[in-house]
Amino acid sequence: MKMIVKARGIKKSYRMSRKNIVHALRGVDINVAAGDFSAIIGPSGCGKSTLMHILGLLDRPDAGTLEIDGENMSRLSDKKAYKIRARKIGFIFQGFNLIPTLTALENVVLAGKYGGLGKNERLERARELLDMLGLENRVDHKPNELSGGQQQRVAIARALINNPSIILADEPTGELDTKTSMEIMEILKRLNKEEGKTFLIVTHNMDVANACKKRIKLVDGKNA
């Protein structure tokens, strides 16, 4: 099985003041293989989101090694990290993070542009994804004209447009009601099963965690 993410001994600390240092991660190991549908779980403050940011190349560890698709991420320039993030990693956020002045279609197309897709390709791909996610009649709507569940579907389409190696989802159901949360999880499970997409989901919701095939637990910044 191809290993998409391999992290060893990941450490991260934040200096809050001269005498106050928060040790968010204290040597975390994690493997994510192609086709995994995994959850990172643990109590508040255990380092889940910090780990997600490091795996998504949004932050850098203080120590440890990280490989994505077999490539060492430890000494990447910011420019190279940006390119890998845009092309190999899809993101789904709790707050959707859609650009409010753009339509659903434009939000998805923009991610394709960042990922290096040609104009026609990204437009065709964005329409296909939004149609697949049941939003064919909402492509010209802006985020404030969409429900929370619809906004998250747009965010899923945005995460998929560059056919990333892995999709990182940080509390993807955190702002949704129970019914809509389960609908979103069914979409992610279908993408994993039918399309072979690899997911790593940060969640405090045990219903979401139990819907995943594997669970990775953190406690006090360490593997539990």
Domains by residue range for the chain, with CATH: 3-223 (3.40.50.300)
Helix, coil or strand: residue 167 = strand
> What are the phi and psi torsion angles at 58 (to 5°)?
-90, -15
Query: pLDDT per residue over 28-37, tens digit each?
Result: 999 999 999 9
Between CA 72 and CA 3 the distance in angstroms is 13
CB neighbourhood size of 78 (10 A): 9
Q: How far apart are CA 32 and CA 42, in angstroms?
A: 18
Q: How many CA atoms lie within 13 A of 139 on its CB side?
A: 19
CB 22: neighbour CB atoms within 10 A? 13
Q: What is the mean pLDDT of the chain?
A: 95
Closest by CA position to 196, among listed 156, 157, 163, 148: 163
Evaluate if residue 1 carries a pLDDT over 90: no
In three-state secondary structure terms, 6 is strand
Q: If pLDDT is split at 50, 70 and 90, which confidence band does 19 have? A: confident
> CA of 96: how far to CAs of 12, 163, 212, in Å?
26, 19, 21
What pLDDT score does 214 carry? 96
Assign 162 to helix, strand or coil: coil
Q: Where are the alpha helices (DSSP H) in 19-118?
A: 48-55, 78-88, 104-114
Asked if 128 and 122 count as a contact pair (C-beta separation under 8 A), the reply is no
Location of structure tokens 């979401």: 208
57 vs 66, 67, 98, 130, 176, CA distance in Å? 10, 11, 20, 27, 26
- Reported as a single tens digit per residue, the pLDDT across 152-201 is 999 999 999 999 999 999 999 999 999 999 999 999 999 999 999 999 99
CA 224 – CA 207 distance, rounded (Å): 20
The percent of residues above 90 in pLDDT, for the chain, comes to 94
Separation of alpha carbons 128 and 136, rounded Å: 9
